[in-house]
C-alpha cells in the first residue's frame, strides 16, 4: 500500500515538472519573439521573416534579380522592425505595419506545389541571405521608402517630409526612363474635362507639391490619387479643344527606385552598393535574435 502511494506521488511530481518545463518553454518563446497578426487575426500569427517573405512576393516582380530582392528584403525588414520594436506589444496587427502581404499558404494552393516552389525560391533565398539585416540612422530605426520608378531623379525627402527623412536625398536614376509605363499621356476633350488645373508648386525633381483644381488646393499626391495618375510628377497642357495630362514615373519618388536598383544589379552592383547609393549615412546592422 505504502509502495503504491509512493509511486503515485512520484508520477504526480513528474507530471508537475513536465508541465513546468512546457510552461517555461512556452513563456520563453513568447518573451523572445514578436508576432504579426495577418489580416488583424490574432489566431493567425506569423514571425518577422515569414511576413517579410510574403511582402516581398507582393512588392517585387519575380523577374527581378536576386540582388534586387535582397536589397528589398533589407529595406522592408527595416520598415517592419521599426513598426515591431517601437511597439511594446508582443503581437502587432498587420494593419499597424501597413504593408501589402501575400498569404504564402494560399499562394501555394493557387499555384500548385511545383509552380509555387519555382517562384518562391528567389524570395526565400533573399530573406535567408540577409537574415536579420536592417538599416539604422544614428542608431535609430528608419522608414526607408521605395517606389517602382522615379521620374529620372528620386526626390529630396527632407525638402518635402522634413528633417527626419534626411537620409533620402535626390539621386539620379536615369535607368527609370526605360521602365514600361514611365511616360503616360492622357488626352481629354476640353468640354469633358471642365476643370481649371493650375500647378502651384513643384519640387526640384519635378513632382507637384501643390495644385489648384477650380480653386481647391490639394497636394500633388492627393491629385494623382483622385485622378488615377501613376505619380505626382505631372504637367497639364491646354489647347483649344484638348487637355493633355503628362505623367512621369510610377510611385511617390522617395528613396529607392526598384527599377533603377534592378538595372544597377544587372551592371554588377551588390545589394549593399545599391543601398548605399539610394540612402545616405545609413548603417547596415544585424538584429540580435
Mean pLDDT of 177-204: 86
Sheet arrangement for strand 234-238: 183-189, 242-248, 234-238
The dihedral region occupied by 269, where left means phi > 0, alpha psi between -120 and 50, and beta the remainder, is beta
Grid coordinates representing 153? 531623379
Q: What is the pLDDT of residues 108-125, one digit of tens each?
A: 888 888 888 888 999 999
Asked if pLDDT for residue 33 goes beyond 80, the answer is: no
Q: What is the pLDDT of residues 205-245, one digit of tens each?
A: 999 999 999 899 999 999 999 989 999 999 999 887 788 99
Mean pLDDT of 43-51: 88
Q: What is the rounded distance in angstroms from the CA atom of residue 29 to the CA atom of residue 42?
A: 16
Asked if pLDDT for residue 41 goes beyond 90, the answer is: no
> What percent of the chain shows pLDDT beyond 90?
62
- The separation between the first and the last C-alpha atoms of the chain, rounded to the nearest angstrom, is 52
Q: What is the rounded distance in angstroms from the CA atom of residue 244 to the CA atom of residue 237?
A: 5
Please state the φ and ψ torsions of residue 288, each to the nearest 5 degrees: -80, 125
Mean pLDDT of 178-206: 87
Asked if pLDDT for residue 268 goes beyond 50, the answer is: yes
Mean pLDDT of 134-146: 96
Per-residue pLDDT, 1: 45
Partners of residue 186 on adjacent β-strands: 245
**Residues 134 and 71: beta-carbon distance below 8 Å:** no
Query: 104-111 and 48-59 helices cross at what angle (nearest 10)?
Result: 50
Asked if pLDDT for residue 289 goes beyond 90, the answer is: no
Per-residue pLDDT, 26: 31
The answer to which of 11-25, 44-58, 257-271 has the lowest mean pLDDT is 11-25
**Residues 234 and 245: beta-carbon distance below 8 Å:** yes
Per-residue pLDDT, 31: 34
Per-residue pLDDT, 191: 61
Per-residue pLDDT, 110: 80
Answer with the residue of higher pLDDT: 227 or 70.
70
> Which sign, positive or negative, has the C-alpha torsion 168, 174, 179, 182?
positive
The predicted model scores a pTM of 0.83
Per-residue pLDDT, 107: 85
Mean pLDDT of 78-85: 92
Per-residue pLDDT, 2: 45
What mean pLDDT is reported for the chain?
86
Q: What is the rounded distance in angstroms from the CA atom of residue 102 to the CA atom of residue 61?
A: 13
Answer with the residue of higher pLDDT: 82 or 109.
82
**Rounded (5°) CA angle 224-227-228:** 75
Q: What is the pLDDT of residues 145-174, one digit of tens each?
A: 999 999 999 999 999 999 999 999 999 999
Asked if pLDDT for residue 18 goes beyond 80, the answer is: no
Asked if pLDDT for residue 43 goes beyond 60, the answer is: yes
Where do the structural domains in the chain lie, given as residue ranges?
Answer: 35-143+270-286, 145-254
Please state the φ and ψ torsions of residue 26, each to the nearest 5 degrees: -65, -45
Per-residue pLDDT, 24: 33
**pLDDT band, residue 81 (cuts 50/70/90):** very high
Mean pLDDT of 137-144: 95
Kindly state the greatest CA–CA separation across the chain. Answer: 108
Grid coordinates representing 280? 545616405
Q: Can you give 87-154 as a three-state secondary structure string?
A: CCCCEEEHHHHCCCCCCHHHHHHHHCHHHHHHHHHHHHHHHHHCCCEEEEECCEECCCCEECECCCEC
Amino acid at each position: 500500500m505504502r509502495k503504491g502511494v509512493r509511486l503515485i506521488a512520484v508520477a504526480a511530481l513528474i507530471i508537475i515538472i513536465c508541465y513546468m518545463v512546457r510552461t517555461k518553454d512556452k513563456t520563453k518563446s513568447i518573451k523572445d519573439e514578436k508576432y504579426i497578426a495577418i489580416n488583424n487575426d490574432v489566431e493567425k500569427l506569423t514571425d518577422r521573416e515569414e511576413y517579410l517573405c510574403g511582402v516581398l512576393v507582393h512588392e517585387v516582380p519575380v523577374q527581378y534579380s536576386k540582388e534586387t530582392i535582397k536589397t528589398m528584403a533589407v529595406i522592408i525588414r527595416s520598415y517592419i522592425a521599426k513598426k515591431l520594436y517601437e511597439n511594446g506589444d508582443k503581437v502587432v496587427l498587420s494593419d499597424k505595419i501597413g504593408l501589402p502581404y501575400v498569404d504564402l499558404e494560399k499562394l501555394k494552393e493557387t499555384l500548385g506545389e511545383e509552380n509555387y516552389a519555382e517562384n518562391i525560391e528567389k524570395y526565400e533565398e533573399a530573406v535567408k541571405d540577409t537574415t536579420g539585416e536592417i538599416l539604422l540612422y544614428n542608431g535609430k530605426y528608419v522608414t526607408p521608402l521605395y517606389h517602382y520608378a522615379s521620374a529620372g531623379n528620386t526626390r529630396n525627402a527632407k525638402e518635402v517630409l522634413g528633417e527626419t527623412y534626411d537620409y533620402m536625398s535626390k539621386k539620379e536614376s536615369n535607368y527609370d526612363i526605360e521602365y514600361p509605363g514611365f511616360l503616360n499621356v492622357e488626352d481629354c476633350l476640353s468640354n469633358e474635362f471642365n476643370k481649371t488645373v493650375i500647378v502651384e508648386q513643384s519640387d526640384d525633381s519635378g513632382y507637384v507639391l501643390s495644385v489648384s483644381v477650380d480653386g481647391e488646393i490639394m497636394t500633388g499626391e492627393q491629385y494623382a490619387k483622385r485622378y488615377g495618375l501613376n505619380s505626382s510628377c505631372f504637367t497639364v497642357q491646354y489647347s483649344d479643344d484638348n487637355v493633355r495630362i503628362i505623367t512621369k514615373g510610377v510611385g511617390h519618388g522617395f528613396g529607392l527606385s526598384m527599377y533603377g536598383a534592378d538595372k544597377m544589379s544587372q551592371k554588377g552592383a551588390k545589394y549593399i552598393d545599391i543601398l548605399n547609393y539610394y540612402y545616405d549615412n545609413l548603417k547596415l546592422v544585424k538584429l540580435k535574435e
